[in-house]
Structure 1
Amino acid sequence: MAAKIDPEEKIVKAAMKLAAKQGWRELSLAEIAKAARVSLSDLSKLFASKAEILAAYGRRVDALVLEEAFREDNAGEAPRDRLFDVLMMRFDALSADKEALKRIARDLRRDPLASAPLGRPFLQSMGWMLEAAGIDSSGIRGAVRVRGLALVWGAAFRVWLEDEPDQSRTMAELDSRLRQGEDFIQRISRLGTRSRARNEKDAA
């Protein structure tokens, strides 16, 4: 007997399928409900907007990546290499919906107000990607890392949308951006160390 799909998953899948065909900007919640074969009333109990549907899609992708990362044995790798692997897992998890994501990304660039509610869920996803790579995302340093990773991901994501199936350009972009980010974090850390040393000397 086939496993029963929960209403949230039906709605998310229907939304992505419709987005691939007709874009995101003009897609209505009523159309999504009809495609998912749920009533508009039932959809409203789960999602108040299309942005919330995209956020739910992101959480499902997070869960797939976290599960795969949990099974990987990368304890001996450098943090940057672990993060590279995790982000490539994320691209792999997105690959089935690439056409939908192309159209969604294009439409959201034209409508900043529609993309604004996705900022917080996106940063939360980046925090989970750091944690999956064994990198702390908490506190002030964690917040800096999360925002830095958001820039890295955004640059690589734009390349990935137009990349070939082998993802060679995506991997090159991701590696380059992560190296730049690592250099920046190291410089900030050295500045912090020197600042603490001066303060301790002045206090002596």
Structure 2
Amino acid sequence: MSATNTAELSAFWRVLAEKGWHGVTMRAVASEAGMALSDLRRHYVSPFDLLLAHGRAVDAEVIGGTIPDDTSPARDRLFDVLMRRIDALQPDRAGVVRLMRDLPTSPLLALWLLPRLTPSMAWMLEAAGIDTAGPGGLLRAKGLVTVWLAALRAWEKDESQDLSATMAALDRALDRAERMAKMFGFADRDSAAAAASPAGALPPPEAPTAAV
């Protein structure tokens, strides 16, 4: 079973897919998961907590499935990591897509989610073997947020079996980030291809989704 596919988290995404973010209640999640509400409360405080738990589970699944590789270019390693993150979202696609579409009507949720994306992206850089130390590492993580959101927006519309449109969008986003990193002098010999762009060098992200 996928690390993200626990009964509670799967139920959360099914409820969200059906009712939207504004319709999610802990009682509905517990009922969908076939568990007592008191048992759900022992582990989760609110729907926000379920979102955070899912984000941590996705991080762990991607990291756990990463095979150390010191021979491939950093850019290729990062592409692989982010596509495997997309793969980890596939089982809950309907709920994740619904959340993304609900975000424009939930500005407070969007503001709450955005800062929580940066730590996840730092973990993705770590999984790809890319430096996250110091101010440069923080800028890389913030740049990767924009890359990830570009891939998510493509994935939202990509219903193909091979996710070719998503892969193409991710490839383009990595290219843009690499050019910006070089232009602003934030790239070194390994991380130049790692989509490490200075904060604000790319267009502002849309519909942030920290859960994913």
SS in 1 for 2:184: helix
Q: Quick check: 1:55–1:118 contact (8 Å CA) kept in 2?
A: no
Determine which of 20, 23, 34 is the counterpart of 1:26: 23
Aligned pairs for 1:158-173 within 5 A:
158-163=153-158, 164-173=160-169
1:183 aligns with 2:158: no
1:196 match: none
Q: Paired residue for 1:156?
A: 151
Does structure 2 retain, via aligned residues, the 8 Å contact 1:51–1:117?
Answer: no
Secondary structure of 2:35's aligned partner = coil
Give the superposition deviation at 1:190. 6.9
Aligned with residue 145 of structure 1, among 140, 145, 161: 140
Question: 1:138 and 1:56 mapped to 2: Cα distance?
Answer: 25
- Displacement of 1:73 in angstroms is 5.0
Aligned to 1:51: 48
| Aligned residue number for residue 67 of structure 1 | 64
CA RMSD of aligned residues (A): 2.2
Query: Which consecutive aligned stretches of 4+ in structure 1 deviate over 4 angstroms post-superposition?
Result: none
Equivalent-residue separation in structure 1 for 2:104 and 2:52 (angstroms): 17
Which residue of the partner structure matches residue 16 of structure 1? 13
| Structure (1 or 2) with the greater helix fraction | 1
Identical aligned residues as a percent? 39
| 2:117 corresponds to | 122
CA shift for structure 1 position 23: 2.3
Q: Which runs of 5+ in 2 are unaligned?
A: 188-212
- Equivalent in 106, 109, 117 of residue 111 of structure 1: 106
Conserved 8 A contact 2:13-2:94: no
| 2:85 is equivalent to residue 90 of structure 1 | yes
Contact 2:16 2:23 in 1 (8 A): no
Give the TM-score taking structure 2 as reference length: 0.79
The Cα offsets for residues 14-72 of structure 1, whole Å up to 9 and x where unpaired, read as: 10122223322212111112222333333333222212101111111111111111xx3
Return the match for 1:132 from 121, 127, 140.
127
Opposite residue 110 of structure 2, the aligned amino acid is S
Structure 1: distance between partners of 2:83 and 2:137: 21
Deviations 1:155-202 (A, max 9, x none): 1101111112221111111111111111211222279xxxxxxxxxxx
Instruction: Report which structure shows greater RCO (CA 8 Å, sep ≥6).
Output: 2
* Conserved 8 A contact 2:143-2:177: yes
Structure of higher CA gyration radius: 1
| Residues paired across the two proteins, number | 184
Q: Residue 34 of structure 1: SS of its match in structure 2?
A: helix
TM-score, normalised on structure 1? 0.82
State the one-letter code of the partner of 1:33. A
- C-alpha separation in 1, matches of 2:53 and 2:109: 15
> Measured at CA, do residues 79 and 118 of structure 1 come closer, stay the same or move farther in structure 2, by a change above 3 Å?
same
Contact 1:84-1:175 at 8 Å conserved across structures? yes
Distance in 2 (CA, whole Å) between partners of 1:89 and 1:99 is 18
How many Å apart are 1:146 and its aligned residue? 0.7
